Amino acid sequence: MIDAIATRRTARGLAALVLVIALGWAAPTRGEDAPAHDLLNAVLWMQRSVEYKATALGAFALARIRLEQALTDPSWTAAPKEQTGAYQSLPPAVVLDADESIVDNSGYQAWMVLNAKTFDAKTWNAYVNTVSSLAIPGAVEFARYADARGVKVFYITNRTAEEEEATRKNLEKLGFPMGGSVDTLLTTRKQPDWGSAKGTRRAFIAKSYRILLNVGDNFADFVDEYRGSEAERLKVMEQHRDRWGREWIMIANPSYGSFESAPFNFDFKLSEAERRKAKRNALEAWPGP
């Protein structure tokens, strides 16, 4: 047992070393010398808390229950906008987002925290190509369960078509079912109309399958109207109140997503300081004693 634990620790250490060498990243600065970073508590929660693991396991346990209910109800669909026509007789499918829904990229987030970095497409692509994302608790088990029940598992991810090969390798490495002869990994720009909004890809699936569940970590995984103001987003969320926890299963992700972009109106041309100011201004604070 001790030898097995030592082997796993050695493997993790080697993987981390390979990651640093492959990307040319400096070793992270820890302790008192580490710069302050907005993501610290979010990443710490995702990597270390039992609360995060329990939340994820609970979400996928609920997904199993809902899947069984959906299989007995031919009118059930998780794609109310895209599922049209006589869909009741179509074979069943589920749609899973990838990043922070079924795969954990907190290693990349932690690198940003320890090195005072923000998201950058170049470093993100380098991370993706290391094929080192981990499985979120309960995700592989749910995907395999659905597959065993004869439900096709599709992955709609906003990773790019250029990142598809590494993403496929990572999912296969973790044990996710990959659809056999059906291409179930739908990345952005794989087809001309497949942009960051996911409705066109859901519609593509809905032509041939009845979508029973949609699992994601971001509002954008469920609706295309995610870029509105906070009030508009809340209105859309309320319009679909009965779907949450039924056809739509949300996985907790406190580190990034449309929730943190809405306060600055998705204007990524703003400086980091301007974006932080907008987010601080959005807080509803107790006035104090």
Q: 277-286 pLDDT, tens per residue?
A: 999 999 999 9
Look up tokens 């090195």; give the residue.
115
Concatenated DSSP letters for 239-283? HTGGGBTTTEEEPP--SSSHHHHGGGTT-TTS-HHHHHHHHHHH-
Q: Which two tokens stand for residue 5?
A: 């634990």
pLDDT of residue 69 exceeding 70: yes
Q: Which two tokens stand for residue 55?
A: 């939340």
Q: Is 16 helix (H, G, I), strand (E, B) or coil?
A: helix
Query: By C-alpha distance, which of 98, 108, 102, 97 is closest to 43?
Result: 108
Q: What is the mean pLDDT of residues 19-28?
A: 53
Cβ contacts of 191 within 8 Å, gap of 6 or more: 200, 204
Q: How far is CA 199 from the centre of its chain?
A: 16
Which segment of 10-24, 40-54, 134-148, 202-216 scores lowest on mean pLDDT?
Answer: 10-24
Q: 96-115 pLDDT, tens per residue?
A: 999 999 999 999 999 999 99
Concatenated DSSP letters for 193-221? T--SS-HHHHHHHHTTSEEEEEEESSGGG
Separation of alpha carbons 206 and 258, rounded Å: 25
Look up tokens 């032509």; give the residue.
207
Pick the CATH number of 52-106+133-276 from 3.40.50.300, 3.30.360.10, 3.40.50.1000, 3.40.50.720: 3.40.50.1000
Contact indicator for 118, 275 with CB cutoff of 8 Å: no
Q: Which two tokens stand for residue 181?
A: 């002869």
How many helices and strands, by DSSP H and E, does the chain display?
A: 11, 7
H runs (alpha helix) in 129-217: 139-148, 164-174, 199-206
Note the pTM of the prediction, 2 decimals: 0.88
As a whole-number percent, the residues of the chain with pLDDT over 90 amount to 87
Give Cα separations from 245 to 54, 77, 173, 228, 251 (angstroms). Answer: 16, 13, 29, 23, 10
pLDDT at 35: 77
Residue 228, burial from CB neighbour count under 10 angstroms (0-12, 13-18, 19+) = middle
Q: What is the mean pLDDT of residues 233-238?
A: 96
Greater pLDDT, 5 or 130? 130
Q: 32-44 pLDDT, tens per residue?
A: 567 789 999 999 9
pLDDT at 4: 46
As a whole number, the mean pLDDT across the chain is: 91
Query: By C-alpha distance, which of 131, 103, 127, 104 is closest to 115?
Result: 127
Look up tokens 């703003």; give the residue.
270
pLDDT at 7: 46
Q: Where are the domains of the chain?
A: 52-106+133-276
Q: 251-285 pLDDT, tens per residue?
A: 999 999 999 999 999 999 999 999 999 999 999 99
Q: 49-68 pLDDT, tens per residue?
A: 999 999 999 999 999 999 99
Q: Which two tokens stand for residue 275?
A: 């974006």
